[in-house]
Amino acid sequence: MRVVWKQLGLLMLLTVMVAVFAGAVQAAAEPSIIVDGKKLDLTGGARVEIVDGNVIIPIRIVTENLGFQVGWDAQTRGISITEGSRTINLTVGSKTALVDGVEKTLLAAPVLKNGVTGVPLRFVSEQMGMDVDWNDATKTASVNRPAPPAGDSVTVTVDDISLNGRQLKIAVGGKVEPKVFTMSGPERIVIDLPGTSLSRALEDRSSQKGVVSIANSSEIAGVRYALFSNSPSTVRVVMDLNSAAPYTVTRGSANEVLVELTGEPTPGTDIPGTPGTGPQLPPVTQPEPPPVASGKKLIVIDAGHGGSDAGAVGATGKREKDVNLAIALKVQALLVNDPHLEVILTRDDDTFIELGNRGTKANEVKADAFVSIHANSVKNAPSANGSESYYYEEASKSFTQIMHKHLLEATGFRDRGVKQANFKVIRDANMVSVLLETGFLSNAAEEAKLFTDDMQQRIAQGIVDGLKEYFGFA
């Protein structure tokens, strides 16, 4: 009997310990945020903290998930948050805020910790007309945007896009609130115009790659545009830069949106602006745009050569047409159920296709991008090695740079760079296009790697990752 009591006592002790441990785990649970029913994925080191009973969120979450524009004054440690016609001015360490010039008192002051600026979630969201709720048991903050008015589906047209020197002018048929941010690798300024659609004239021009003709510029590599999203209808304009540069966003006459480069460009910096002032953002990672497009982007993947055209022959006799097709089929498999990208192959078996029919096929289906997959070879030079990527028109340079970056990450081969070439297969395509030379079959080591399933899968994934970054779905 004594043994039984000891066993019961031990069981009760274990039960108490499990309960205490579970409580400790729950108490240590990280706070989370749900916006419009979707839990945010707080990646990139973003953390939600509780200060004096208030939820403090990094500025990155404000810009990336709530869609507000944020400005930062390093001297005063001031933060400006703008949405539509409303502006909130906050100061790190101060519980006094200005909302459209009217003084308000905060329950918790903004903080600057380890280089990350944090602001009180409830105050910012409620001042912008959102509903906020906090569940203390699950440590979850819920933010819900108000339902849009019935008339919100009406769009205004973007009538013209032009570049004069360092200033980009976007003529809009009504008032819009642009969302402007930067992206890197390569450097570019992205202008999203919610509630807009393309005019008939711009729609016709967009079928010719959506490129704005520009004079030679040492700063601006190109300007392109497209209807980025159908829900809400959003036109996106992109300024491709040769190096990062500060800029301002202002309004011109008749609802024009003006984006102008300012100061001396400094390679490697990323200094976004806010409307009319161009101040530096808080010291946090600048977000990439959330994937908001509802319509799929159509991608044509071209497996180079095929049939009677074997392409390059490798050091041990392996054929280029085979590795090109294997990679193309893997890209197709990766995208078969993708919500944003749809893929068409120029060939899905060992078929010969005339060179002139590859780019034109992409034109016929009105593709958004064309990717031609190849492998290199050099006679009597078995040491030649590396990956390189080619574009034909300047309009495809930014696209090619992004695709090349992901190709290099996939292969790990030597970087042979991004180059311009008059290849017919990409010259014929009326959309952004790239020819990828994955590696050298004449190099025995690279030939062996390219014919492994692992390397082919990595290259296919790299192509998918590059497409998603370029179109804003990364």
Q: Model confidence over 48-68: pLDDT tens digits?
A: 777 777 788 777 666 556 667
Q: What pLDDT sits at residue 264? A: 65
Domain at 297-470, CATH homologous superfamily: Zn-dependent exopeptidases (3.40.630.40)
Q: What pLDDT sits at residue 27? A: 42
83 is catalytic: no
DSSP label of 383: T
Alpha helices in 179-300 (DSSP H): 200-206
Mean pLDDT computed over every residue of the chain: 78
Q: What pLDDT sits at residue 275? A: 35
Class of domain 32-144: alpha beta
Q: What pLDDT sits at residue 255? A: 81
Write down the residue that tokens 């976007």 correspond to: 170
Contact between 420 and 390 (Cβ < 8 Å): yes
Q: What pLDDT sits at residue 185? A: 61
Kindly state the tokens that stand for 274: 């806010």
360 three-state secondary structure: helix
Q: What pLDDT sits at residue 14? A: 43
- H and E: helices and strands count for the chain: 10, 29
Q: What pLDDT sits at residue 213? A: 60
Q: Please list the residue range(s) of the chain that carry CATH number 3.30.457.10.
A: 32-144
Specify the fold of 153-261: Immunoglobulin-like (2.60.40)
Kindly state the tokens that stand for 14: 């274990």
Q: What pLDDT sits at residue 443? A: 94
Q: Please list the residue range(s) of the chain that carry CATH number 3.40.630.40.
A: 297-470
170 three-state secondary structure: strand
Which one is catalytic: 83, 187, 388, 437?
437
> Which stretches of the chain drop beneath a pLDDT of 50?
1-11, 13-28, 148-152, 265-294
Q: What pLDDT sits at residue 16? A: 43
Rounded to two decimals, what is the model's pTM?
0.47
Q: What pLDDT sits at residue 457? A: 95
Contact between 399 and 336 (Cβ < 8 Å): no
116 half-sphere exposure, CB direction, 13 A CA radius: 17
Kindly state the tokens that stand for 313: 């022959």
Q: Please list the residue range(s) of the chain that carry CATH number 2.60.40.3500.
A: 153-261
Burial of 274 (0-12, 13-18, 19+ CB in 10 A): buried
